Amino acid sequence: MYTQAMDTLGKDAEDRKPVRSAEQAMLEARFDARIDDGAFIEAKDWMPDHYRKTLVRQISQHAHSEIVGMLPEGNWISRAPTLKRKAILLAKVQDEGGHGLYLYAAAETLGTSRDEMLYALHTGKAKYSSIFNYPTLTWADVGAIGWLVDGAAIMNQVPICRCSYAPYARAMVRICREESFHQRQGFESLLTMMQHGTEAQKAMVQDAVDRWWWPSVMMFGPPDDQSPNSAQSMRWGIKRISNDELRQKFVDAAVEQAKVLGVTLPDPDLKWNEERQHHDFGAIDWDEFWNVIAGNGPCNRERIAARVKAWDDGAWVREAALAHAEKQQQRFKEAA
């Protein structure tokens, strides 16, 4: 006997929740038990609707971040200072494109098509990381993105390798390996300028760090007590470590790396707290963060316009690929 069609709307908000059928309750209990056991969920396994939607939201936003994230650094490919730096940057930007593709594929396993996800991006309905709405003004910005942005990305993404949704977790293992190379190349590029560069080059590095520091600290998302999705995502093992904990780990690691580089992090309140065994840091400008997410950062419009143009310019490729696939199918049918 199933009761999911019963309308039980009452006066109180709690009563307004539709009554779950016995079968639904059993499936949910079994699902929760699997999550508690640390089991991985595969695409064909039963999952609650909200779990599916949460994953599509997060994975598609993550995929969008990767492909929008190609733009700020892509801006410097033709102006890289040496052939070696150009080759490294080309490989890195291509890697980010690849990450986007793995992630779109992982999201597609949940029943949402890539076209739907891209439509949401192009029409401003989908989010992507706030960090990619800042401009890359000098060559040092490319190094700062590698060091700080990829550094923050790894800190956030390593725990996702243990995400309860297996296709996402598997994609993240490969992505993290590549991100770690990205972080190191950025650090090494800045270190070269700081150790062997002219005074002007050293000043350029410091200026890039001054501009990228706070947006990188914001990348981890709002504070835990203002993060509407965290509690449920942690419960489901989608997120393993909270926004604030990851931010703290990032700050602690970056302080030591900044010493090696010889740069100053632009935060006068940054200091070691013996009691907490962590660095304290200054207040984050959350107004700036929400403003960027709302579409009003320095480059939001430019980024979306570039993605829409790439989509429009690529129409003939998609049409040609479809025509080719249809022809092949036709030939296959005729031969059978």
Residue 222 touching ligand FAQ (CB under 6 A): yes
Residue 19 CA, chain-centre distance (Å), reads 36
Report CA-CA distances (Å) from 81 to 183, 192, 207, 266. Answer: 19, 13, 18, 27
Is there a contact between 208 and 144 (Cβ–Cβ < 8 Å)?
A: yes
Q: Which is nearer to ligand FAQ, 234 or 270 (CB)?
A: 234
Is there a contact between 66 and 96 (Cβ–Cβ < 8 Å)?
A: yes
Residue 162 touching ligand FAQ (CB under 6 A): no
Instruction: Give the interface segment with ligand FAQ, choosing from 22-30, 201-209, 216-224, 321-329 (CB under 6 A).
Output: 216-224
Q: Which two tokens stand for residue 230?
A: 């965290």
The number of residues making up the chain comes to 336
Residue 130 touching ligand FAQ (CB under 6 A): yes
Q: How far apart are CA 119 and CA 69, in angstroms?
A: 18
Residue 127 touching ligand FAQ (CB under 6 A): yes
Q: What are phi and psi of 42, to 5 degrees?
A: -100, 165
Q: Which of 41, 51, 62, 89 binds ligand FAQ (CB under 6 A)?
A: 62
Instruction: Give the interface segment with ligand FAQ, choosing from 18-26, 136-144, 226-234, 323-331 (CB under 6 A).
Output: 226-234
Q: How many residues bind ligand FAQ (CB under 6 A)?
A: 29
Q: Which is nearer to ligand FAQ, 233 or 248 (CB)?
A: 233
Q: Residue 97 CB, nearest distance to ligand FAQ (Å)?
A: 9
Q: State the residue number with the nearest CB to ligand FAQ.
A: 69
Q: Which is nearer to ligand FAQ, 132 or 202 (CB)?
A: 132
What's the angle, vertex CA 247, arms to CA 284 and CA 176, rounded to 5?
Answer: 135
Residue 57 touching ligand FAQ (CB under 6 A): yes
Residue 185 touching ligand FAQ (CB under 6 A): no
Q: Which of 21, 24, 138, 227 binds ligand FAQ (CB under 6 A)?
A: 227
Residue 260 CA, chain-centre distance (Å), reads 27
Beta partners for residue 8, in sequence order: none
On the CB side of 116, how many CA atoms lie within 13 Å of its CA?
10
Is there a contact between 41 and 166 (Cβ–Cβ < 8 Å)?
A: yes
Residue 61 touching ligand FAQ (CB under 6 A): yes
Interface contacts to ligand FAQ, rule CB under 6 A: 57-58, 61-62, 65-66, 69, 96, 127, 129-130, 145, 149-150, 153, 156-157, 219-222, 227-230, 233, 239, 243, 293
